[in-house]
Structure 1
Amino acid sequence: YYPREAKTFWATHFLRLREPLSVWEDTRDVVIVDADRCRVVTDWHQPEGARVPRRVVELRGNVAPGTRLTADSTPFALYDLPAPFPAETNPRWIHAARTVKVVEVLDDGAVVEETSVNGFTWQELPLALTPVAPPLAGSQQAAIEEWADEVLAGERMPADPATDLLLRRRPRTGRGALARGGATDIADITSTLLDLDRSYVAVQGPPGTGKTYVGSHVVACLVREHGFRVGVVAQSHAVVEHMLDRIVEAGVPRAQVAKALKATATGDTSFTPIAKNGMAAFIGEQQGGFVVGGTAWDFTHTGRIGRRSLDLLVIDEAGQFSLASTIAVAAGAQRLLLLGDPQQLPQVSQGTHPEPVDTSALGWVMDGAAVIPDDRGYFLAQSRRMHPAVAEPVSELAYEGRLEAFPATAERRIEGIPAGVVPVPLGHLGNATQSPEEAGEVVRIVRDLVGRPWTSGEGEPSRPLQPSDVIVVTPYNAQQVMVEAALAEAGFADVPVGTVDRFQGQEAAVAIVSLAASSGRDAPRGLEFLLLQNRLNVAVSRAMHTAYVVYGMGLLDDLPRTPEGVARLSAFARLVGVQSDT
C-alpha cells in the first residue's frame, strides 16, 4: 500500500514539472497562484537562531476542488524555468519545484514560508502550490509486517482486532452479541467495548447525529470509571484535536488528556500539550486512565506506544482512514472503535490499489452496505441538525430510509420558505465548470431569503436570517469564484461559498447546491464525479431547514454507461423529484 501510494505520487509530481498548468490545474490539492492577489507579508530576513534567510508570502488564487491545505504541511511551490534559484532540472521540465511550509490556510490559498537556496533569494512568486509528498511510512509498514509474520507463523488466523477487521468477522464479545436496549447509544457502546475480546466495534454516524458527542462520552466513561488507556487517531490533527476537546468537555481532566501540538499552534488548549516525542513520558507519568492523541506514525512507533499497550484506540473519521493504516495502528491496542460514515466523503488515495486495500476501514467492514449491519456495530439513527423534510430525502439517498430527524427539529421555521429539498432546474447549454445562469439564480435565492424571520428551534426567539446563515456548495472551483463574485456584487459577500470538502462537519439554516455543468458530457469528470452520492449527501445535509439544488436540466438527459452511473443518476433524479427513465 505505502510504496504504491508513494510511487503514484512521484510519477504525478514529475509529470507536473513537464506539463503546463492547464493540464493539471483542477487536480486535488493544487492552488494556481494569481499574482495580482498575492503579497509579501515579510520579506527575506534571517530570524535569530535560524540557519538561512526566509520570507513569508500570502499566495491567493484558484483552489482545485477537494483541496485540503493544512497548517505546518509542506507542499511544493512550482516556478517557471529558468528558476530564480539554483535548481537541478531535466531538459524535459518546464517547472522547478521546492517545498514550502504552510503558515496559515486561507479560503483561496495559503500563507507560506520559503527559505533561501544556497544563500540565493528572489522576488518572483511561485506559479502554483502542488500536493505534499506522502510521509515516510516506515513504522506503519513495520507494524503491518509484524502482524503478517504473526499470521503466517500460526496454525490458525489470530484473534485480534486487525484480523477480525480484515476477515469481516463479527466483533467478538464475551456475551456473544453487541449490547442493545440500554438507556442510550452511549451506554450500549460502552457496554460492548468493555465486553470485547481483543476485537473491534464500529459506529456509523450520519450527518448531525452526534458521532463526536457519542464517541467522546464513551471514552470519558471508560477513562473515568474503568481506568482505560485510550488513543485517538485520524487522518488530520484537526480531527484528533476536536475529539480531544470534546473528551475534556465530557469530563476527563485536562491533565489526563494529551497531544503534541503542531509547530504553528497558538493559544491555550483544552488538553495537555506535550513535546513531539513526549508521548511515552506522558504515559509513564499516568497512574490511571488517560487519553493520548496522535497520528498513525505515533501509534505504530514502539518508542511512543508499546504494542497492544492501549485498552482502546479510537479511529475517528474511519470512513476516510485506510484499511492498511488501520491494520498498522491496531498493533498498539487491545480494542478498536471505528467512528465515521462511508456514505459521506470517501477515503482519498494517491495510488490505485486492489481490493481491499482501496477502501477505508469502515467501508470494508460495511461491505458496500449503506447502513452498518446490526451485528457489526451501531447506526446513529437520529439527526439533530436536519428538519424532517430534509432528513427524509437524505435518508432515502444514502441510508436506506433509516435516518430520522430528532422531533424538535420540526419546529425550525423560515417564514414563507418550505422546509426540505427544493429542486431548481435551469435550462443552460455548454457550461462545464461554471454557470452564470446558476450564479444568478443563487443570488436571487439569497436575496429572497435574507431578512426573513428564522426560528432555529422550539423556544428559540425568531431573528432575521443573515447572509452567514446560508452556504453555497459547488463541485467546481470555477463556479465557486463566479458565485462569490456575483454575491459580492449583489451585496452578499458574507455568504460562504466552497466545495463539499470545505463544509463537511458544518451546518447552516439553508444550503444552496450549484452543480454548474449543463450535462454529463460537459462535466470534466462526467456524472461519475458530479452526482457521486457521497458528495450530494454531504452537500444537502448541511441544511438545517432548506436545501436548494440548482442544476442544469441536461444532467437528467444523459445515458450513463456503467451500472454505477445508472444508480447515481437514478438517485439524483429521486432527490430532485424527477421520475428517471434509467
Structure 2
Amino acid sequence: SHPAASLALPKWENIAVFLSLEQEASTRAVCSIGLLVRCPAELRESLGLPEKFVPEYFLAETRESCGPLAHDFIRRLHALFSLVAQHNSKQDWAAQLSLQTYVYEAYERKLLTSMLLKGLNTDVHTEAAELLFYFHNIDNIQAEEHLAHDDPKQLVAYPLVVLLDTLRRLVALPIPITWRLKDVLEALPRSEDGFQFHPGVFHHFPLSNYLDINLVHKLWNGDKELIKRLGSSVRQRLYGLVEVLRSLRELPEVKAGLVVWPPKFTLPGASEYDHPPFSRLAFMTMNENLTRAIAARDTRSLPARQRELQEAVLTVSWLHGDWWKVETPTMLLKEDAFKNHLLWPDRPEGEQAQLQYDDLKQYNRWSFRGLWLNEFQQHWLQVAGIEELRQDPLTGLITEIRVSTINRPKRWLLPYPPTPGERWYLGPRFSNPNSEKVFKALARLNLNDAGDFSGLLNDVCGASRHLPLPSEVQSFVDQQAPTWGLTASQSEAFQAASRQQLTLVWGPPGTGKTHFLATAIVGWFEAHLNAGEPCRILITAFTHAAIDNLLLKVQEHLSARGLPFQATKALRDLEEQPINSPLDYIGYDEIAGSYVSQEQLILGMTSWNCERLAKVNAPAPQLLIIDEASQMTVPEASQLWQLLDAHSRVLVVGDHYQLAPIIEGDYPEPEANEPLLVRSIFEAFQYSEHLAHEADPTSRQVVYPLLECWRMCDLLTEFSAKELYTMELDTPSGKISYHCATPLIGAQRLDYRPVADLDQTLAWLLDPAYPLVFCVLEGVTALRANQPEAELVARLSVALRQGLHLDGQALPTSTSGDRQFWKDGLFVVSPHHAQIQMIRRELHRAHSWQSDPFVDTVDKMQGQEAQAVIVSYGVSDLEAALQEKAFIYDRNRLNVAITRARSKCIVCLPKPLLDGHPSVLEDDRVAQGLAYMQRLADWAGQGEEACYAVSESVRWRFYRRRGLL
C-alpha cells in the first residue's frame, strides 16, 4: 500500500506566481485579476517587481474596460515571464531559475485560458499566443535533459497548479461542502509569523470561492468607494494562497507525497500560424495531450485502495510466458496495440519507477524507438500492451490477459523478473503519436490552404463555392440518377453535393446514409469513367468498422452495375485482411504509390494515414467522403484538408445528436462570430451554417438532412421527430420532415407470441401494441448498480427469447438461435460496467444461453439495430451519478440507445436519477440531457400506467404508450 502522491505540486521553486481571476457572469468577461510574485529579494529588482512583497491588482472600473483590463494583464504577465526567460538564456543551466504559477480553484485556470484565447484575435495576439502555448505545451513540461538519467527522484511539475485540487488529494480537512479559502486557512496549521487573514475581507459568495460580483456591479453603477474594498479582498486572497502553499509543504503527511521539481523556465515562441483557427487547433491539440497525460499520471498516483475501487489500476499476477491473471476480473480492459499501459511490481521501487515515468515527455512514443527510460525505470518498470483477453463466459469479465512489452534494457541490466503469484500493477500510460501529424497538417495548411479549411470553419456558407461537375459527367448523372432509387431527401442531398464544394449530409437514425453514400459514390465514379475523367475517391471515417461497412456496400453497388473495379482498403498488416472479402487490400507503405499511379480509384483509409499522401504531394482527390464526421474532431479533420485543392468535392456525413468525439479539455464556448472548434467537424460546419442563416436567411444551404426513416416504427420515430429531429426540407413534391419511410415501416410491431404461462407483468410490458415502455424504480437503495433492475431486465430478456419471432419464424433452441436473437432480436444497453456485470449474472442465472448475451454500452451499438432494445441505467446513487453527470445525463447516448430499436424500446431507471439534482442545472448540456430523459418519460406516461411491488419499500412504476396506427 502507498499514500497519495502529488505530481503537480513541486517541492520548491525559485519564483512563485500567484493569480486570482474573477469574471462577470452576464458578459463572461474577466473583471478582476490579482498578481503576486514571490521570489528572493535580489531578483525582484531585475524582474521589475516592487521592492516589497505587494500584489498587483487589475480591476475593470466600468463594464467597457474589461477588454482593456485583460490586455493590460496579458502584457504584464508576458513581460514578467519574458524577463525570467531572458535571465535564463544568459545563464548556464545550474544558475537558471524555475517558475511555478498557482491559482486556488479550477475555474480560475479556465478563465485564464479563455482570456488568452480571446487575446489571439486582438493587438496582444503575440503575447497571448506565447502564454497560451507555455501553459499548455508539453514541450515546456518535459524533464530536463541535464538531470542525471539514473536518478529516480528527478521529476517535473506542471505550469499551472490548482491548489484546491492538490489540497483535496493530499489532506483531509474538517470542512463540509465547499473548501472555501478562508475555511482552509482556518483548518491548516499556521506559523506565528504566517499570514493573518480577516474573514470579512474576502467578499465571497456564500459556500463558494467566487468573488461577490454584486460589488463589481455597484462599482460600475458609480460607487467608486468599492475599488479599495475589492482591491483589499483580492490582496487577502493572494496572501492566503501563499499561506496555503507554505502550510501544505510543512505538513509531514504532504512532504512524503511531494516528489517533483519544476523545470528551468523557458517561454516558447509565438504561434507561426497566419489563420487564428489554426492557432486554436494547435492549442487544442496540445491541451488535449496535456490533459490526458496529467489524468494518466494522477490516476497512477492515487492511494492503492482508491485505485482498486475505481478499477483505475488493476492488480495482476504472473501465470506463465506472457500471460497474467487479473486478480479482480473487470470489463474495463481492451486490446491495446499502442502499448498504453505500464506494468510494475507491488514493491516500493516499482511505485517509485511508475511515479517518475513522464507521460508528458513520452506522449508521442509508442514503440521502443525513441522511448526513454532511465536505468532505474528499465529495471522496475515495463511499458506494456494487451495483446489478447480471456473472459469468463458466464459474466463476460476479463480474467486473464496476454501482455507484450517494449523495454529493451542493457544486457547487464535485466528487468525485475515476475514470479508466480506475485502482485503486480497494470496502470494507464498516455500516448498519442497522432498529435504530431496534426501539427504537420496545420503547418502545411498554413502555407497552402487550397481547400480553404480556415475559410470554411469561419463561414461555411460563404466559403463553400459553386463547383459544377464536368459537363459530360453531369449529363450522365442527370440521365441515370432517377433510376438509382433515392428518396426525396437523399435526392436533394445528392444534387447539392453535385453542384457545390462542400455538403453536409445530416443522417438521423435509420435514414439509410450508408446506402445513400454507396449510391452516390458509385454513381459519381461511373459518371467519371463514362466521361473519361480522372476520379480518385477517398473514403475515411472515425472507425475502421465504418470504413469497412461503406466499402462493402460500395463494392456491392459496383458489382450490381457491372463495373469491373474493386474498392480498396488500406491496412497496417495485410495478414489481417478478411478471408473471401470482395475488397482489395493494400499495406500502408503502398498507399502513396497506388494512389498516385491510378486515376480511377476508390480508397478507404483512416484520416491519420493521410499524411502518407501529403508527404508525396499526391494529386488531390476529386471526391472526399467523411463518414461518422460527428465523431471526428476538427484537428483530426485537418489531416484530410491538407490533401485537397480548389476542385475537390467534400461530402461530410454525420449526426451531431449521436455519439460525439471524446474531448477531455475544458474550453470556453465561442464568442460571437467565432468558429466552433471544440466539437466534431460536422458540428463545427453545422454551427457555422446556423450563424450564417441567422445573419442572412438567403445564405447558401450547406446542410441537407435525410428524413425518411427505414428503421423505427411510428411511435419511436414520432418522439425523435418532436424532440430532436425537427428540421424540414423543401423538395419538388413539397416540404417534408423526419418520418417513417413507408406505412409498413410505421406499422411494424414486435412479432412476439408469449408462452401460455407467462407472468402477467411481463406480458403487460412486452405487449407488441405498445412500442415504448418506461420503468421507474422507486425506493431502491443508493448503489452504482441495482439488483431489482437487473432481475427485471433478465426476466424480460428470457421472455422475449421464448416468444420472439423473426421473419415470421420462431428461433431454434440452439447456438445459432441464441446468436440470432442477440444479433437481430434484442440489445441490452447500460452505461455502467457494474450494471452490465449484474445483468449478465442475472441472465445466466435465469436461462442457459448457448450464445453470449449482447449486453454492453451504447458505444458498441451505434450503427446497429434490433427488433427490441432494453436500456438499463442501474445507478441509484445520486451522489455517484453527479460525479459523472456529463456521462450519465448525456442526451446523445440516450438518443442512440432508444433509436436502435425497430419496434420495441423499454427504458429502466431509478427515480432519483429521473428526478435529478439542482446541481445538474449548473451545466447546460447536462441539464439538456436530464430534460430529454424526463420528456421521454412524459411521452410514455401519456399512455397507460401500472405498479408492481418488489418489496415493502421498493416498487416499479410502469408506463407504456400504444403505437400511433
- Match of residue 573 from structure 1: 934
**Number of the residue aligned with 2:631:** 320
The match for 2:921 is 561
String of CA shifts for 1:101-129, please: whole Å, max 9, x gaps.
53569764585441374454535575445
Partners of 2:636 and 2:782 in 1: CA distance? 40
Matched, 1:142 2:432: no
- What residue is the counterpart of 2:605 in the other structure? 294
Structure 2 counterpart of 1:513: 871
Which shifted more, 468-477 or 265-274?
Answer: 265-274
Pair 1:240 & 2:547 matched: yes
What is the CA distance between 1:540 and its match in structure 2?
A: 0.8
Matches within 5 A, 1:526-545: 527-545=885-903
| 2:665 is equivalent to residue 351 of structure 1 | yes
Aligned to 2:847: 491
Q: For residues 441 and 368 of structure 1, what CA distance do their matches in structure 2 show?
A: 45
Which amino acid counterpart does residue 314 of structure 1 have in structure 2? I
1:519 deviates by 5.9
1:172–1:284 distance in 2 versus 1, CA, 3 Å: closer
Which runs of structure 2 are paired with 1:150-229 in the superposition (5 Å)? 150=448, 160-169=452-461, 171-174=464-467, 184=486, 185=489, 187-196=491-500, 199-226=501-528, 227-229=534-536
Correspondence for 1:480 = 836
What amino acid is the match of 1:235?
A: F
- Say whether the 8 Å CA contact 2:299–2:313 is kept in structure 1: no
CA distance in 2, matches of 1:498, 1:22: 27
Aligned residue runs from structure 1 range 39-438, under 5 A: 43-44=320-321, 55=322, 61-64=329-332, 69=334, 72-82=337-347, 88-90=353-355, 96=381, 98-103=383-388, 108-109=397-398, 112-115=402-405, 117=407, 118=409, 120=415, 121-123=417-419, 127-128=425-426, 130=428, 133-150=431-448, 160-169=452-461, 171-174=464-467, 184=486, 185=489, 187-196=491-500, 199-226=501-528, 227-251=534-558, 253=564, 255-262=566-573, 265-268=576-579, 269-286=581-598, 288-302=599-613, 306=617, 309-333=620-644, 334-354=648-668, 355=670, 356-367=676-687, 375-400=701-726, 402-407=737-742, 408-409=744-745, 410-415=747-752, 416-438=767-789
- Partner-residue secondary structure (3-state), 1:229: strand
Say if 1:162 and 1:330, in contact at 8 Å, map to a contact too: no
User: Do the aligned partners of residues 526 and 33 (structure 1) sit closer, same or farther apart at CA in structure 2, a change above 3 Å counting?
Assistant: closer
Taking a change above 3 Å as real, the CA distance of residues 86 and 552 of structure 1, as seen in their structure-2 partners, is closer
Residue 802 of structure 2 aligns to a residue in which SS?
A: coil
Query: How far did residue 509 of structure 1 move?
Result: 1.6
Aligned partner of 1:575: which letter? L
Q: Is the 8 A contact 1:202 1:338 kept in 2?
A: yes
RMSD (Å), alpha carbons: 3.8
Give the Cα–Cα distance (whole angstroms) in 2 for the partners of residues 140 and 378 of structure 1.
29
The 1:392/1:83 distance shift into structure 2, 3 A limit, reads farther
After TM superposition, give the deviation of residue 436 of structure 1 in Å: 0.9
Given that 1:85 and 1:122 are in contact with CA atoms closer than 8 Å, whether structure 2 keeps it comes out as no
- Structure 1 position 239, deviation (Å): 2.5
| 1:71–1:105 contact (8 Å) kept in structure 2 | no
Task: Write the distance in 2 (CA, Å) between the matches of 1:105 and 1:368.
Answer: 47
**Aligned equivalents of 1:239 and 1:62: distance in 2?**
28
Task: Please state how far the C-alpha of 1:85 moved relative to its aligned partner.
Answer: 8.4
Q: Using the alignment, how far apart are the partners of 1:513 and 1:376 within structure 2?
A: 35
Q: Distance in 1 between matches of 2:522 and 2:357?
A: 57
CA drift at 1:534? 0.1
Aligned residue among 285, 300, 311 for 1:2: 285
Instruction: Deviation per CA, 1:360-387: give whole Å up to 9, x if none.
Output: 10111222999x9992222111222212
Q: Deviations over 1:513-532 (max 9, x none)?
A: 11112264441535443222
Q: CA separation of 1:102/1:21 partners in 2, compared to 1, >3 Å: closer, same or farther?
A: farther
Tell me the alpha carbon deviations over residues 487-536 of structure 1, each in whole angstroms, 9 at most, x when there is no partner.
Answer: 11111654311111122222222111111122644415354432221010
**2:907 is aligned with what amino acid?**
V
Structure 1 residues 216 and 11: alpha-carbon distance in aligned structure 2, compared to 1, 3 A threshold = same
Q: Is contact 2:299-2:312 (8 Å) kept?
A: no
**Which structure: larger Rg?**
2
CA distance in 2 between partners of 1:228 and 1:104 (Å): 43
1:162/1:420 CA distance change after superposition, 3 Å: farther
Structure 2: distance between partners of 1:482 and 1:369 = 45
Q: Deviations over 1:530-567 (max 9, x none)?
A: 22210101111111211111111222333332344443
Residue 309 of structure 1 and its aligned partner are, at CA, apart by 1.4
The CA deviation at 1:266 is: 4.8
Choose 205-214 or 539-548, whichever is displaced more: 205-214
Structure 1 unmatched runs, 5+: 45-54, 152-157
| Larger deviation, residues 390-399 vs 250-259 | 250-259
Change (3 A) 1:338 1:142: same
Identity of aligned residues (%): 19
Match for 1:274: what amino acid? I
Which structure has more helix as a fraction of its residues? 2
**How much has 1:292 moved relative to structure 2?**
1.8
Identify if the C-alpha distance between structure 1 residues 102 and 173 changes in structure 2 by more than 3 Å, giving closer, same or farther.
Answer: farther
Q: Distance in 2 between matches of 1:501 and 1:526?
A: 17
Between stretches 87-96 and 211-220, larger displacement belongs to 87-96
1:169 CA displacement: 2.2
The answer for the alignment partner of 1:52 in structure 2 is none
1:193 partner amino acid: A
Cα-to-partner distance string for 1:388-408 (whole Å, 9 max, x where unaligned): 222222333332274322323
Shift of 1:317: 0.8
Cα distance in 1 for partners of 2:390, 2:725 equals 34
Deviation at 1:358, TM superposition (A): 1.3
| Conserved 8 A contact 1:77-1:97 | yes
CA distance in 2, matches of 1:263, 1:404: 43
Counterpart residue type for residue 273 of structure 1: Y
1:108/1:214 Cα in 2 relative to 1: closer, same or farther (>3 Å)? farther
Q: Secondary structure at the match of 2:639?
A: helix
1:470, distance to aligned residue in structure 2 (A)? 1.9
How far the C-alpha of 1:202 sits from its partner, in A, is 1.0
SS of match in other structure, 1:220: helix
User: Contact (CA 8 Å) 1:143, 1:331: kept in 2 or not?
Assistant: yes
Structure 2 counterpart of 1:154:
none
TM-score (norm 2): 0.51
> Structure 1 323/90 Cα, relative in aligned 2: closer, same or farther at 3 Å?
closer
